Structure 1
């Protein structure tokens, strides 16, 4: 039995001595590597916060104190230490442990945290609730992995700094630059300010001045003089200018020092920021050497590091990468923009070949889209590569800064549809709704990697105005070619309509129906805005029945617009709309989620059979 196996409560964790704590941290890292190798997940960021997570769980009671993660992919150690160690073999699996904080899993997870830069906003709301309800608990926001590049973080800190609420923000800095003041001088100043003797003297001085006549005024005067001279000699941090009391930087792998600093800031009665320096991938050489690769990784061999257990199959992101790289050589006006997802979106090759035309703006999707508008207005052809679930945060900019002027900006919407293990916060199932609601937006939906290459070239070189090309995570299915016509399979009993890679399930459903004696016609829509209603109407006049399958929520889905348009044309008959409904879809393998939502081949065939039996 390992030491980690014995840690089943906060009391057991707090009872460990220094040597045991070092052993525990080593065992947690081994546990993380072995488990994430089996399930996939976010490894490097969690290896970097082992000591910080242990210190937080020892200093704070997270069953009552509120610990907000930003973003939640660095919460694995927290989960291990709060009663979910034995469930880790189910990480990111259907029905298993989520890869992000989830309040339904544990009272120690106070909030969902799948997107970046929101923790201070949420934490301030909780702190203000505590004040209004006259309760007593601590609120801690743990920011890291680039969250400070998002504008929402600064909006929240600006408000929090003026609020005077008791709030602790921990900046987990694993390499990003914050301000010029965070350097050698700042470290020297921090050492002076955080020495136990200094803090005791400061506390004693405040107590003495409080007892003598005019002492409070004297303390305030000397404090202002001290701050004035400190600013003259050393400057100030950006955080102090926003109203936070700044502590740090502190070594995020020095557990004893971390605990001391956390207990120090825990006693402060106003907003404080503790700056912690960590190493992403700490303790596992492959992750230390390639932290970007091990940020989010699939199954891998823990003994061989980066080497996967099976060969790499080309993905839609790979096809996008090759196509945009080739287009960059062909058209010098093309530039590429991403929001902290250079490698994830496949723009690393373009960045290497055309660095002056590739812009990684950090976790700032709204800024990315607005900047694209400026580039397009002045004659460039910007291609904005952002995951579907992150592009949601730039909806206002899509409307105001691109569509309203009819600017030619191409949106490469990666991870459209269900993405699997990352779950609710990362499924790209809302872009069908929000993209189609933007006036003038054109939305293309390739069903194969070959179609993605073709559609991307057309979107960039031939089309005008705003264009979105949405494509999924992963590889091709059974359909790998380019459809010259919408009709992939002729039939006479029912029309099956879909778009994107869901065509693979629909074609399989048509084969199942054929075995039951039902002739299904399959139509694949290359574009969901504008819609080819004429082709669907012609097919339905022939078959008399319709089923529309789509990997999107029901509100604003394609099926509803098709149905209304068909009715307006006088085309009627039994109809079934198969989609994800009005709900959030949990994490799990995509085939399992298809079955859950009724979008797998068998479920679609059953639904079509019911339509044909007039049971719809």
Structure 2
């Protein structure tokens, strides 16, 4: 079958196993060729081609709900549901999303740009199905790396308790984005090597099902089977959650996959199907990758594996600049450590790991844990740096608020991929961290406008001994290593005068500061350009000065407006001009006491309100 002729998964239902194998080979070649031109998530999709085909062969989507965790491994699913002709538009404006997208297809029942959500969503679907007395299967495909996310563990606990009929396909490729870390991985390894159990189980069933006596003996051996299952293969990872288990099964053997999935389909209650796959299968460069280089790729040359996107010789990515600076500072200070929640490759921390292996900590896909662990390190006298993508940082909001800022612990957080990231879409746009963090007391939030400022901000962050966040975007910038680090006054902005008689003031941040200056010079427009390198605290002295000029002020920012830099400026200006009288809790944490006492203390009781009304009348 030609890939472009596939419009529905129903078209593969009557195909033979050899035909399905041929289809899997065609899809794998299609993916390599297509992604080499558009970029996208390569390794994860090459690893689940046969598994995706088997899922659509056995189950009846869109009636049956197929949930992919993480959503970026759904490319074969998209091909089988009639979207192959759109792959030239993958991750482009108005084109095919790189993830499941509910608005894109009725076959996409769930959206996820981050890991560990599938099991909770699947249980929710199963509960809704049973309450509404509907009839469909719920299937969650989750990777081994995603099990390091606390949300997945919480879901497994609840699934085992509620015992709803659902199928968990555990895609075990011994990698998440890069290699896995931690105790869960060790438990998975013991389950992965369960050849002894599989042999025993097969031999017992084959020998005893040949006659009535044997069948009776087999039925009486349930407890023995369970003992063998638990003691020989130590499948406690799932058994401890009260989940039945099948596997492991070869994730690239379509015949075996179909048999096992059909068995799971007949099972009453939750069941785990353990599938062994090879990430990057079919493309040698991706198969050999152990650090996540081929997880998400830009356009590349298929023959050589070389990226077609090259940086100018004098430029580095912002992530690389931060990483190099971190390594330089760590060379001089042995208390500096680095932490990543499974993003060592993307955050350019692999060199740090190689140079300082005992001071590097990859905690898996667990942003919450990463932040609180860093807080414990800080309380113990270390100087931790945590690198987290902006779009994933929201998962650790509670930890930043409650553990890091409330205890005023000196943790430095590098907010990578801040701002628009483009291709990965709405699940990954890092435009909310400013508004999310600005309301948290004790926290310093900043962004450099060039490489020099990035180096000095990171140096300042460690010296400050405060909860300090530095955001930086995806992309690259001209780089020169600073000769000597300089302390940047906390909350200070810098000013650039373009021309002689300014007609306006533009306040911006990040690399857009230089863009505005360049554009103003190019168009011969005189203006004052402000580098607002701190979102919290802001430079109130400079704001007062700017307001005295009686010039129009433009706040030019490329992140969410609500709660943004402009909001911070307006809030401050309002306190000076009293355009709007505001009553609320100021920028600090409120200690314990009765509610009545605290409302009086914070001047948010009705008596304080009316006192202000009378005084301002």
In structure 2, the residue matched to 1:422 is 424
* Distance of 2:91 and 2:135 partners within structure 1: 34
Q: Which aligned pairs between 1:570-585 and structure 2 lie closer than 5 A?
A: 570=577
In structure 1, the residue matched to 2:573 is 566
Deviation at 1:477, TM superposition (A): 7.7
CA contact (8 A) 1:250 1:276 kept: yes
CA contact (8 A) 1:415 1:428 kept: yes
Deviation at 1:198, TM superposition (A): 5.8
In structure 1, the residue matched to 2:502 is 492
* Distance of 1:560 and 1:571 partners within structure 2: 15
TM-score by length of 2: 0.84
In structure 2, the residue matched to 1:614 is none
SS at match of 2:141: strand
1:501 aligns with 2:511: yes
Q: Over the residues paired in the alignment, what is the CA RMSD in angstroms?
A: 2.9
Deviation at 1:200, TM superposition (A): 11
In structure 1, the residue matched to 2:81 is 82
5+ residue gaps in structure 1?
Answer: 210-217, 573-616
Aligned residue among 506, 510, 514 for 2:520? 510
In structure 1, the residue matched to 2:18 is 19
In structure 2, the residue matched to 1:168 is 167
In structure 1, the residue matched to 2:610 is none
SS at match of 2:474: coil
In structure 2, the residue matched to 1:62 is 61
Deviations 1:11-44 (A, max 9, x none): 3212222222222111111111111111111101
Residues paired across the two proteins, number? 558
* Distance of 2:32 and 2:208 partners within structure 1: 42
* Distance of 1:502 and 1:488 partners within structure 2: 13
CA contact (8 A) 2:342 2:364 kept: yes
1:529 aligns with 2:536: yes
* Distance of 2:496 and 2:453 partners within structure 1: 14
In structure 2, the residue matched to 1:298 is 298
* Distance of 1:199 and 1:95 partners within structure 2: 59
SS at match of 1:179: helix
Q: Which aligned pairs between 1:298-317 and structure 2 lie closer than 5 A?
A: 298-308=298-308, 310-311=310-311, 313-317=315-319
Q: Which aligned pairs between 1:369-408 and structure 2 lie closer than 5 A?
A: 369-408=371-410
> Closer, same or farther in 2 for the Cα pair 1:180/1:44, shift >3 Å?
closer
CA contact (8 A) 1:29 1:47 kept: yes
Deviations 1:363-421 (A, max 9, x none): 01111111111100011000011111111111111122111111110001110101110
Which shifted more, 118-127 or 554-563? 554-563
In structure 2, the residue matched to 1:36 is 35
CA contact (8 A) 2:389 2:417 kept: yes
In structure 2, the residue matched to 1:431 is 433
* Distance of 1:286 and 1:418 partners within structure 2: 29
* Distance of 2:275 and 2:232 partners within structure 1: 23
Which shifted more, 227-236 or 324-333? 227-236
> Closer, same or farther in 2 for the Cα pair 1:408/1:185, shift >3 Å?
closer
TM-score by length of 1: 0.85
Which shifted more, 526-535 or 285-294? 285-294
In structure 2, the residue matched to 1:539 is 546
SS at match of 1:8: coil
Deviation at 1:479, TM superposition (A): 13
* Distance of 1:424 and 1:180 partners within structure 2: 32
> Closer, same or farther in 2 for the Cα pair 1:229/1:46, shift >3 Å?
closer
SS at match of 2:464: coil
In structure 2, the residue matched to 1:182 is 190
Deviation at 1:51, TM superposition (A): 0.6
CA contact (8 A) 2:191 2:235 kept: no
Deviation at 1:567, TM superposition (A): 3.1
Aligned residue among 316, 325, 328 for 1:326? 328
